[in-house]
Amino acid sequence: MAKFLDDNGLLYLWSKVKAIIPKRTSELTNDSGYITTSDIPEGAAASTTVPKMDGAAAVGTELAFARGDHVHPSDTQKVDKVAGKGLSENDYTTAEKEKLSGIAAGANLYVLPDASTTVKGGVMLSSSTSDVSTTKAATPSAVKAAYDLAAGKQSPATTLSGYGITDAYTRSEIDGMVSGALHYKGTKDTYADLPATGNKVGDVWNIAAADSAHGVKAGDNAAWNGSEWDVLAGTVDLSGYLQITDAISNAEIDAVVAG
């Protein structure tokens, strides 16, 4: 059977691993052909990156130098100067000012027409429940008053089907479902103390004492199935589970690490 690591074995194995792993870069051996940053003399390699634009001024940290023929990209954020104009040129002309001044006050005033059943427009609200107007809109209070009036004149239904309900459980169906449920009744000292009469299907009693003759362990429950008491207990087969003796020992870990 395969073995497994318990908590102590896992901690022991980890201590072995930590002792092997280097803790400083100085403990590492550099492979042939590789160099560190300190091995590169300043200006020894030309940069292949595109020159930066629109950034904040900074000394920089790159070790490579710029090539003599490098070209900065165009500055897309600048504004070119237009010949004959200053940076604060006022292009608002006198002709445009006179045109705007000639517009009469209220020239663009829009009057909303009254609404009707055929025309969009403004509408008046009404809280009346008897108004027959076709140009007014009812307020929430008018709708509530109309609803209350209609509800008060409705004859209440006496059955579920009268309310249009067709998928409800019947009383007999509910009684059948309730009778099939378990009902905890309490605790009896022994199996012999369980009541022989007056029981309902689903009644459950806790039994304090064990009773090997009836397969009862201390604390088991028994349920009435309609004809007898059914002990609600079972057994669990643990033969396939790993045992503590199957754990890998520290000596076995030492042998693996040493190998």
Please write the tens of the pLDDT for every residue from 64-114. 666 667 776 666 666 677 777 766 666 777 888 888 887 777 677 777 778
Report CA dihedral (158, 162, 168, 171) to the nearest 10 degrees. 30
- Helix count and strand count (H, E) for the chain: 5, 6
pLDDT at 186 over 90: yes
Distance, CA of 35 to CA of 42 (rounded, Å) = 14
Continuous segment of H or E residues that includes residue 11: helix 7-20
pLDDT digits (tens, 9 = 90+) for 154-178: 566 677 776 777 888 787 777 667 6
Residue found by looking up tokens 């590492």 in the block: 28
Does 131 score more than 70 pLDDT? yes
Of 185, 242, 194, nearest to 214 (Cα)?
Answer: 194
Cβ atoms 216, 231 nearer than 8 A: yes
pLDDT band at 43 (very low <50, low <70, confident <90, very high): low
- pTM here is 0.29
pLDDT at 39: 64
What is the residue whose two structure tokens read 């980890």?
Answer: 14
pLDDT at 58 over 60: yes
- Residue 57 pLDDT: 65
- Give the pLDDT band of residue 209 (cuts 50, 70, 90): very high
Rounded CA-CA distance 6/137 in Å is: 79
97 versus 185: which is more confidently predicted?
A: 185
pLDDT of residue 194: 94
pLDDT of residue 123 exceeding 70: yes
